[in-house]
Amino acid sequence: MTRNYLIAGNWKMNLTATESAALAKEVVQLVSQNSSVDICVSPTFTALDAVSRMVNGSQVSLGAQNMHQEVSGAYTGEISASMLESLEVDYVILGHSERREYFGETDSLVNQKTVAALQAGLKPIVCVGETLEQREADQTIAVIQSQVEGGLASLGADCADSLVIAYEPVWAIGTGKTATPEMAEAVHAEIRAMLTGLMGESAAQKIRILYGGSMKPENADELLAQANIDGGLIGGAALKADSFISLIDSAAKQSN
Ligand code: PEP
C-alpha cells in the first residue's frame, strides 16, 4: 500500500509577512508538480494572508500554528477557526509542546480546540510528546497515552481522514537531538495501538502520525522508512527551502 506522507513545516515565531511570502514562493517553485507527498507550511498569523496568496493553486497547503476553541467573542488577541478558514488554511497545529510549556495548554484545552477545528473543516495536527525527565523515569508511554486520550476525547472514527497526530519528544525539539528511528517507531506503534483502541483499526490506519524533533535531511530517510511514521512536523529545517524540499524528496522516495 502506498503511503500518503505529510511533510508539515512549523515556522514558529520567525519571519515577517514579506519574508514568509518569499520563503513560500521558493518552496512552491521547488516542489515538483504532482508531488506524491502532502506538503504544508505554517507561518505566523500575520503572514497567513501573504503566504496563502503565494501557495494558492500549488501543491503546498497552508497551516496555522494555533487557534482559539471558541467560534467568536470577547477573547482579545485570539484567532478563530473561521478566521483561518477565510484565508484558505487547511491544517492547524494544536497542543505543540511550546504551547503546553509556555502557555499552559492542557489536554482538555487541546481537546476543545481539536473538536472546534474539526467542526470548522480544518485538519488538526495534535502534538504529543514526553520530556527528558519523563523518558528517563520510564513514563513515556503513560504520558503519551494521557495526551492522546485527553486530546482526542469524544472524537469518533469519522475524523480519521482529517486528524493528524505529531509525536514530538520534547527533548528533541530544536535541540539537534533526534530520537533514533527505532525509538521513534516504538512510540509511533504504541500511538497507532492507542488510536485502534479509541477509534477502531480502520480509522487508526488512516490517521497520519508524524514525527517531529530535529528532523533534517541527514536523518529523514531512516525515520520516514519506519512502518508507523507517516511524515514529519519540521521546525528548524523548514526555514530554508532547500532543506525542506530535501525532506519532501525523502518522503517521496519512500512512497514510490
Ligand atoms: C517543532 O517545533 O515542531 C519541531 C519539530 O522543531 P525542530 O524541527 O526544530 O526540532
Categorize the per-residue pLDDT at 178 as very low, low, confident or very high, splitting at 50, 70 and 90: confident
Q: Are strands 123-128 and 91-94 parallel, antiparallel or unpaired?
A: parallel
Q: Is residue 243 part of a domain?
A: no
Q: Is residue 239 part of a domain?
A: no
Given a cut of 60, whether residue 36 has pLDDT beyond it is: yes
C-alpha span between 63 and 65 (Å, rounded): 7
The one catalytic residue in 96, 105, 130, 185 is 96
Give me the domain span that covers residue 200. Answer: 6-234+248-255
Catalytic annotation on 168? yes
Q: Is residue 242 part of a domain?
A: no
Q: Could you tell me the CA-to-CA distances from 117 to 33, 90, 187 in Å, in that order?
A: 29, 10, 25
Given a cut of 60, whether residue 252 has pLDDT beyond it is: yes
Mean pLDDT of 139-166: 97
For the CA of 216, the closest atom of ligand 1 is 8
Q: Is residue 82 part of a domain?
A: yes
Bridge partners, 64 (sequence order): 92
Confidence (pTM): 0.97
For the CA of 173, the closest atom of ligand 1 is 10
Strand boundaries in 172-221, DSSP class E: 208-212
C-alpha span between 54 and 51 (Å, rounded): 5
Q: Kindly state the cell numbers that stand for 18.
A: 514579506
Q: CB of 248 within 8 A of CB of 35?
A: yes
Split into its structural domains, the chain has a count of: 1
Given a cut of 90, whether residue 33 has pLDDT beyond it is: no
Q: Is residue 135 part of a domain?
A: yes
Q: Kindly state the cell numbers that stand for 208.
A: 497520519
For 43, the 3-state DSSP assignment is coil
- Kindly tell me the sign of the dihedral angle through the C-alpha atoms of 68, 73, 79, 82: positive
CATH of the domain at 105: 3.20.20.70
Q: Is residue 1 part of a domain?
A: no
Categorize the per-residue pLDDT at 176 as very low, low, confident or very high, splitting at 50, 70 and 90: confident
Q: CB of 251 within 8 A of CB of 224?
A: yes
Helices (H), 152-216: 181-199, 201-206
Residue 211 confidence (pLDDT): 97
Q: Kindly state the cell numbers that stand for 72.
A: 467568536
**Residues whose beta carbon lies within 6 Å of some atom of ligand 1:** 10, 168, 173-174, 212-215, 233-237
Compute the mean pLDDT over every residue in the chain, rounded to the nearest whole number. Answer: 96
The burial class, CB within 10 Å (0-12 / 13-18 / 19+), for 29 is exposed
The one catalytic residue in 98, 105, 168, 185 is 168
- Dump pLDDT digits (tens) for 229-239: 999 999 999 99
Residue 1 confidence (pLDDT): 56
Q: Is residue 72 part of a domain?
A: yes
Q: Is residue 58 part of a domain?
A: yes
